[in-house]
Protein backbone atom coordinates (compact mmCIF):
# COMPACT_ATOMS: atom_id res chain seq x y z
CA UNK A 1 0.00 0.00 0.00
CA UNK A 2 2.82 2.38 0.92
CA UNK A 3 4.58 1.63 -2.40
CA UNK A 4 1.36 2.31 -4.32
CA UNK A 5 0.85 5.66 -2.55
CA UNK A 6 4.46 6.61 -3.15
CA UNK A 7 4.11 5.76 -6.85
CA UNK A 8 1.04 7.97 -7.24
CA UNK A 9 2.71 10.76 -5.25
CA UNK A 10 5.81 10.84 -7.42
CA UNK A 11 3.79 10.39 -10.60
CA UNK A 12 1.52 13.32 -9.65
CA UNK A 13 4.49 15.47 -8.66
CA UNK A 14 6.24 14.77 -11.97
CA UNK A 15 3.07 15.71 -13.84
CA UNK A 16 2.83 19.04 -12.00
CA UNK A 17 6.50 19.79 -12.69
CA UNK A 18 6.03 18.98 -16.37
CA UNK A 19 3.04 21.36 -16.58
CA UNK A 20 5.01 24.12 -14.88
CA UNK A 21 7.91 23.63 -17.30
CA UNK A 22 5.54 23.77 -20.29
CA UNK A 23 3.93 26.98 -19.00
CA UNK A 24 7.36 28.52 -18.44
CA UNK A 25 8.48 27.56 -21.95
CA UNK A 26 5.35 29.11 -23.47
CA UNK A 27 6.00 32.37 -21.60
CA UNK A 28 9.62 32.43 -22.77
CA UNK A 29 8.51 31.76 -26.35
CA UNK A 30 5.97 34.61 -26.24
CA UNK A 31 8.60 36.97 -24.80
CA UNK A 32 11.01 36.03 -27.59
CA UNK A 33 8.34 36.65 -30.24
CA UNK A 34 7.47 40.06 -28.76
CA UNK A 35 11.16 40.99 -28.65
CA UNK A 36 11.64 40.05 -32.30
CA UNK A 37 8.56 42.05 -33.28
CA UNK A 38 9.86 45.07 -31.36
CA UNK A 39 13.24 44.79 -33.07
CA UNK A 40 11.52 44.50 -36.45
CA UNK A 41 9.44 47.63 -35.84
CA UNK A 42 12.33 49.70 -34.51
CA UNK A 43 14.44 48.70 -37.50
CA UNK A 44 12.06 50.68 -39.72
CA UNK A 45 12.78 54.01 -38.00
CA UNK A 46 16.10 55.87 -38.02
CA UNK A 47 17.39 56.54 -34.53
CA UNK A 48 19.01 59.82 -33.49
CA UNK A 49 22.53 58.38 -33.35
CA UNK A 50 22.21 56.99 -36.89
CA UNK A 51 20.83 60.30 -38.13
CA UNK A 52 23.64 62.22 -36.43
CA UNK A 53 26.27 60.05 -38.12
CA UNK A 54 24.62 60.64 -41.50
CA UNK A 55 24.34 64.41 -40.86
CA UNK A 56 28.01 64.70 -39.87
CA UNK A 57 29.13 62.82 -42.98
CA UNK A 58 27.04 65.09 -45.19
CA UNK A 59 27.39 68.51 -43.52
CA UNK A 60 30.36 68.27 -41.15
CA UNK A 61 30.61 68.25 -37.37
CA UNK A 62 30.33 72.01 -36.78
CA UNK A 63 26.59 72.42 -36.31
CA UNK A 64 26.63 76.23 -36.15
CA UNK A 65 28.54 76.58 -39.42
CA UNK A 66 26.43 73.91 -41.13
CA UNK A 67 23.19 75.62 -40.08
CA UNK A 68 24.47 78.99 -41.32
CA UNK A 69 25.41 77.41 -44.64
CA UNK A 70 21.96 75.86 -45.05
CA UNK A 71 20.19 79.18 -44.44
CA UNK A 72 20.63 80.30 -48.05
CA UNK A 73 18.88 77.12 -49.26
CA UNK A 74 15.93 77.26 -46.87
CA UNK A 75 12.94 79.50 -46.36
CA UNK A 76 9.88 79.28 -44.16
CA UNK A 77 6.42 78.91 -45.69
CA UNK A 78 3.44 81.24 -45.11
CA UNK A 79 2.74 79.46 -41.80
CA UNK A 80 6.31 80.07 -40.59
CA UNK A 81 7.07 76.36 -40.89
CA UNK A 82 10.09 74.75 -42.53
CA UNK A 83 8.77 72.95 -45.61
CA UNK A 84 10.42 70.83 -48.30
CA UNK A 85 8.70 69.68 -51.49
CA UNK A 86 9.80 67.14 -54.08
CA UNK A 87 8.01 65.71 -57.12
CA UNK A 88 8.96 62.18 -58.19
CA UNK A 89 8.14 61.11 -61.72
CA UNK A 90 6.92 57.54 -62.28
CA UNK A 91 5.50 57.58 -65.84
CA UNK A 92 4.95 53.82 -66.07
CA UNK A 93 2.89 53.51 -62.86
CA UNK A 94 -0.79 54.27 -62.35
CA UNK A 95 -2.23 56.08 -59.36
CA UNK A 96 -3.46 52.77 -57.93
CA UNK A 97 -0.07 51.09 -58.31
CA UNK A 98 1.68 54.02 -56.64
CA UNK A 99 -0.85 54.08 -53.82
CA UNK A 100 -0.35 50.37 -53.09
CA UNK A 101 3.44 50.79 -52.97
CA UNK A 102 3.33 53.90 -50.79
CA UNK A 103 0.63 52.55 -48.48
CA UNK A 104 2.90 49.56 -47.86
CA UNK A 105 5.91 51.82 -47.24
CA UNK A 106 4.02 54.16 -44.90
CA UNK A 107 2.54 51.24 -42.94
CA UNK A 108 5.99 49.75 -42.38
CA UNK A 109 7.63 53.07 -41.51
CA UNK A 110 5.00 54.90 -39.46
CA UNK A 111 2.82 52.11 -38.14
CA UNK A 112 3.79 52.10 -34.47
CA UNK A 113 4.88 54.05 -31.42
CA UNK A 114 5.20 57.81 -31.83
CA UNK A 115 5.39 57.59 -35.63
CA UNK A 116 1.80 57.35 -36.86
CA UNK A 117 -0.29 57.64 -40.01
CA UNK A 118 -2.73 60.54 -39.62
CA UNK A 119 -4.60 60.28 -42.93
CA UNK A 120 -4.83 57.54 -45.55
CA UNK A 121 -7.27 58.32 -48.38
CA UNK A 122 -6.94 56.00 -51.38
CA UNK A 123 -9.58 57.78 -53.48
CA UNK A 124 -8.03 61.22 -52.98
CA UNK A 125 -4.53 59.79 -53.33
CA UNK A 126 -3.24 61.31 -50.10
CA UNK A 127 -1.26 59.77 -47.25
CA UNK A 128 -0.12 61.86 -44.27
CA UNK A 129 2.06 60.66 -41.41
CA UNK A 130 3.81 62.16 -38.42
CA UNK A 131 7.38 60.99 -38.01
CA UNK A 132 9.41 61.00 -34.83
CA UNK A 133 13.09 61.05 -33.93
CA UNK A 134 13.78 61.53 -30.23
CA UNK A 135 16.66 63.55 -28.84
CA UNK A 136 18.12 65.10 -31.99
CA UNK A 137 19.74 67.81 -29.83
CA UNK A 138 20.00 68.79 -26.17
CA UNK A 139 20.93 71.75 -24.01
CA UNK A 140 21.69 72.08 -20.31
CA UNK A 141 21.40 75.57 -18.86
CA UNK A 142 21.82 76.94 -15.38
CA UNK A 143 18.30 76.23 -14.15
CA UNK A 144 16.80 73.89 -16.76
CA UNK A 145 17.75 71.28 -19.35
CA UNK A 146 16.16 70.66 -22.75
CA UNK A 147 15.89 67.69 -25.11
CA UNK A 148 14.80 68.48 -28.67
CA UNK A 149 12.67 65.95 -30.56
CA UNK A 150 11.83 65.95 -34.27
CA UNK A 151 8.19 65.39 -35.29
CA UNK A 152 7.86 66.21 -39.01
CA UNK A 153 4.64 65.89 -40.99
CA UNK A 154 5.18 63.89 -44.20
CA UNK A 155 2.45 64.22 -46.82
CA UNK A 156 2.36 62.33 -50.11
CA UNK A 157 0.01 63.30 -52.95
CA UNK A 158 -0.44 60.57 -55.56
CA UNK A 159 -1.65 60.73 -59.16
CA UNK A 160 -1.01 58.79 -62.35
CA UNK A 161 2.69 58.86 -63.15
CA UNK A 162 3.90 61.05 -60.30
CA UNK A 163 4.11 61.61 -56.56
CA UNK A 164 4.59 64.83 -54.59
CA UNK A 165 6.20 64.72 -51.15
CA UNK A 166 5.74 67.58 -48.68
CA UNK A 167 7.87 67.43 -45.53
CA UNK A 168 6.98 70.04 -42.90
CA UNK A 169 8.40 71.00 -39.51
CA UNK A 170 6.24 73.66 -37.80
CA UNK A 171 8.20 73.49 -34.53
CA UNK A 172 10.63 71.45 -32.47
CA UNK A 173 8.97 69.43 -29.72
CA UNK A 174 11.02 69.91 -26.56
CA UNK A 175 11.14 68.02 -23.27
CA UNK A 176 12.03 70.60 -20.63
CA UNK A 177 13.30 69.58 -17.20
CA UNK A 178 12.64 72.44 -14.80
CA UNK A 179 15.41 72.29 -12.23
CA UNK A 180 17.39 69.91 -14.43
CA UNK A 181 20.21 72.36 -15.13
CA UNK A 182 23.61 72.75 -13.48
CA UNK A 183 22.29 74.80 -10.58
CA UNK A 184 19.33 72.50 -10.02
CA UNK A 185 21.63 69.51 -9.70
CA UNK A 186 23.80 71.32 -7.14
CA UNK A 187 20.78 72.18 -5.03
CA UNK A 188 19.65 68.56 -4.86
CA UNK A 189 16.10 69.39 -5.91
CA UNK A 190 14.07 67.03 -8.07
CA UNK A 191 13.54 68.12 -11.68
CA UNK A 192 10.02 68.46 -13.13
CA UNK A 193 9.43 67.34 -16.71
CA UNK A 194 7.25 69.47 -18.99
CA UNK A 195 6.77 69.79 -22.75
CA UNK A 196 7.00 72.90 -24.89
CA UNK A 197 7.26 73.76 -28.58
CA UNK A 198 9.99 75.91 -30.08
CA UNK A 199 8.56 77.64 -33.19
CA UNK A 200 11.01 77.37 -36.08
CA UNK A 201 10.97 81.10 -36.83
CA UNK A 202 12.15 81.79 -33.25
CA UNK A 203 15.13 79.45 -33.56
CA UNK A 204 18.58 80.00 -35.04
CA UNK A 205 19.45 80.50 -37.91
CA UNK A 206 16.07 82.07 -38.74
CA UNK A 207 16.64 84.55 -35.93
CA UNK A 208 19.77 85.72 -34.16
CA UNK A 209 17.84 86.31 -30.93
CA UNK A 210 18.06 82.72 -29.72
CA UNK A 211 19.41 81.85 -26.28
CA UNK A 212 20.18 78.28 -27.37
CA UNK A 213 21.80 78.85 -30.78
CA UNK A 214 24.05 75.78 -30.76
CA UNK A 215 21.14 73.51 -29.87
CA UNK A 216 18.91 75.06 -32.55
CA UNK A 217 21.74 74.81 -35.08
CA UNK A 218 22.13 71.08 -34.50
CA UNK A 219 18.35 70.58 -34.55
CA UNK A 220 18.11 72.29 -37.95
CA UNK A 221 20.91 70.25 -39.50
CA UNK A 222 19.42 67.02 -38.13
CA UNK A 223 15.93 67.98 -39.38
CA UNK A 224 17.33 68.81 -42.81
CA UNK A 225 19.24 65.53 -42.94
CA UNK A 226 16.10 63.60 -42.00
CA UNK A 227 14.20 65.26 -44.85
CA UNK A 228 16.83 63.87 -47.23
CA UNK A 229 16.51 60.39 -45.74
CA UNK A 230 12.70 60.38 -45.95
CA UNK A 231 12.57 61.68 -49.52
CA UNK A 232 15.28 59.29 -50.70
CA UNK A 233 13.42 56.33 -49.19
CA UNK A 234 10.11 57.36 -50.75
CA UNK A 235 11.80 57.85 -54.13
CA UNK A 236 13.40 54.41 -53.84
CA UNK A 237 10.01 52.87 -53.04
CA UNK A 238 8.28 54.66 -55.93
CA UNK A 239 10.90 53.68 -58.51
CA UNK A 240 11.89 50.22 -57.31
CA UNK A 241 9.19 49.10 -54.87
CA UNK A 242 9.46 48.34 -51.17
CA UNK A 243 10.34 44.65 -51.38
CA UNK A 244 11.46 44.63 -55.01
CA UNK A 245 8.78 42.16 -56.14
CA UNK A 246 5.80 44.48 -56.67
CA UNK A 247 5.53 43.88 -60.43
CA UNK A 248 2.93 41.70 -62.16
CA UNK A 249 5.40 38.98 -63.17
CA UNK A 250 4.57 36.31 -60.62
Q: What is the DSSP string of 164-198?
A: EEEEEE-EEEEEEEET-SHHHHHHTPPPEEEEEEE
- Taking only the tens place, the pLDDT of each residue in 199-213 is 999 999 999 999 999
**Of 87, 62, 84, 66, which Cα lies nearest the Cα of 74?**
84
**pLDDT at residue 37 above 50?**
no
- Taking only the tens place, the pLDDT of each residue in 117-162 is 999 999 999 999 999 999 999 999 888 999 999 999 999 999 999 9
Structure letter (DSSP) for residue 115:
B
* E strand residue ranges, the chain: 82-89, 116-121, 126-130, 133-140, 144-150, 153-159, 162-169, 171-178, 192-199
Position 183 scores a pLDDT of 81
Secondary structure class of 141 (helix, strand, coil): coil
Record the pTM.
Answer: 0.79
Give the pLDDT mean for 47-65.
Answer: 96
Amino acid sequence: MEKTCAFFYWHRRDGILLNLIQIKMKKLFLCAVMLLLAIGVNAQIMRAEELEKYAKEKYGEKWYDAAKSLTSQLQLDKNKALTYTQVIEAPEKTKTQLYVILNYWYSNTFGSGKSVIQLNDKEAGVIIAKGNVDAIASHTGGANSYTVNLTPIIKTDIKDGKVRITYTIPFYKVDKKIGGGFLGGMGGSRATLTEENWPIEQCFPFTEKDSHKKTSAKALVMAHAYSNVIMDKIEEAVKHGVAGNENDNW
